[in-house]
Amino acid sequence: MQAIDLDAHWNEIRRHAHDIVEREPALTTLLNETVLHRGSFAECLTFRLTRKLVNHSASIEVLHDTFMEAFLHQPAILQHVACDMIAVNERDPACPNVLTPLLYFKGLQALICYRVAHYLWNQKRTEFALYLQSLISETFAVDIHPAAKIGCGILLDHATSFVAGETTVIESNVSILHEVTLGGTGKERGDRHPKVRTGVLLGAGAKILGNVEIGEGAKVGAGSVVLKDVPPHTSVAGVPAQVIGQASEVCPALGMCHKLD
């Protein structure tokens, strides 16, 4: 992953926030709380997301401190978040700038929160990580196990009902539509969830089950059920999914073309 200039990224976010306030004064409070009154990119993310997660049993102070700890102790998280924000802006025609998904797109918001839960999991704070997973699921309708491994440059588009199990691996530069399941096939334990390689495009409603590999640059059609490995740079579709040809692009995740012919 090429390093992102986080200072420049933060300045761009602030510039967009100022522009929005000028166009739409009704959003001044939101933009001040989220961006303009914050001193850093880490604080911006923390204030936006902890206030969405908090409920009667979750202390806002505890969540705030946890998010700031994760961002400060593992700066790579901020790099990954910035990369995700840029990916959404570049691939989603409904996204006019890098600030918009942080404010409004629950796919990005859920992914940022997962990154904090994953940090907690790696710190052996598994109970807190699982608690944060449950808050994410309740808030965003996205269920990502904190042990799952997810790269950067991820577009989680719309995101409702996305599920990723404990041993899931998603490499960088992957695009995933809503209602995708990366799940197991039953009661087996151990390494039992899909491995999604770089450049993959997963269509809406695709169900990928078991310890199968979706090869680099592959494309999975909407509504497909994948039960076996998908070769790199191929398109699959159907129930069960079958190879129907070569992927039309080297990196379907970037092109976002869902045609399979």
Q: Tell whether 122 and 160 lie within a shared domain.
A: no
Q: Tell whether 136 and 152 lie within a shared domain.
A: no
**pLDDT score of 176:** 98
The band of 169, judged by pLDDT with boundaries at 50, 70 and 90, is: very high
Structural domain for 82, as ranges: 1-142
Q: Tell whether 133 and 174 lie within a shared domain.
A: no
End of a domain among 142, 159, 184?
142
Q: Give DSSP secondary structure letters for 229-258.
A: -B-TTEEEETTTTEEEEE-SSS-HHHH---
Q: Tell whether 131 and 236 lie within a shared domain.
A: no
As given in the structure block, the two tokens for residue 47 are 């204030």
Q: Tell whether 71 and 135 lie within a shared domain.
A: yes
CATH of the domain at 159: 2.160.10.10
Q: Tell whether 134 and 171 lie within a shared domain.
A: no
Asked whether residue 212 carries a pLDDT value surpassing 80, the answer given is yes
pLDDT tens by residue, 93-128: 999 999 999 999 999 999 999 999 999 999 999 999
**pLDDT score of 188:** 81
Q: Which residues pair with 196 in a beta bridge?
A: 170, 214
End of a domain among 121, 142, 163?
142
**pLDDT score of 196:** 98
**pLDDT score of 261:** 62
**pLDDT score of 187:** 80
Q: Tell whether 109 and 137 lie within a shared domain.
A: yes
Give, in degrees to the nearest 5, the angle at Cα 84 between 83 and 87: 90
Q: Tell whether 5 and 111 lie within a shared domain.
A: yes
Tell me which residue has tokens 């070769």: 231
Q: Tell whether 206 and 102 lie within a shared domain.
A: no
End of a domain among 142, 160, 195?
142
Lowest mean pLDDT among 77-81, 103-107, 245-249: 245-249
**pLDDT score of 55:** 67
Asked whether residue 58 carries a pLDDT value surpassing 80, the answer given is no
Q: Tell whether 55 and 96 lie within a shared domain.
A: yes
Asked whether residue 16 carries a pLDDT value surpassing 80, the answer given is yes
Q: Tell whether 77 and 164 lie within a shared domain.
A: no
Residues above pLDDT 90, as percent of the chain: 87
**pLDDT score of 59:** 83
Lowest mean pLDDT among 139-143, 187-191, 215-219, 220-224: 187-191
Our count of domains for the chain comes to 2
Asked whether residue 56 carries a pLDDT value surpassing 60, the answer given is no
**pLDDT score of 57:** 62
pTM (2 decimals)?
0.93
CATH of the domain at 127: 1.10.3130.10
Q: Give DSSP secondary structure letters for the chain.
A: -PPP-HHHHHHHHHHHHHHHHHH-GGGHHHHIIIIIT-SSHHHHHHHHHHHHH--TTS-HHHHHHHHHHHHHH-THHHHHHHHHHHHHHHH-TT--SSHHHHHH-HHHHHHHHHHHHHHHHHTT-HHHHHHHHHHHHHHHSEEE-TT-EE-SS-EE-S-TTEEE-TT-EE-SS-EE-TT-EEE-SSS--SS-S-EE-TT-EE-TT-EEESS-EE-TT-EE-TT-EE-S-B-TTEEEETTTTEEEEE-SSS-HHHH------
Asked whether residue 54 carries a pLDDT value surpassing 90, the answer given is no
Asked whether residue 19 carries a pLDDT value surpassing 60, the answer given is yes
Asked whether residue 53 carries a pLDDT value surpassing 80, the answer given is yes
Q: Tell whether 114 and 153 lie within a shared domain.
A: no
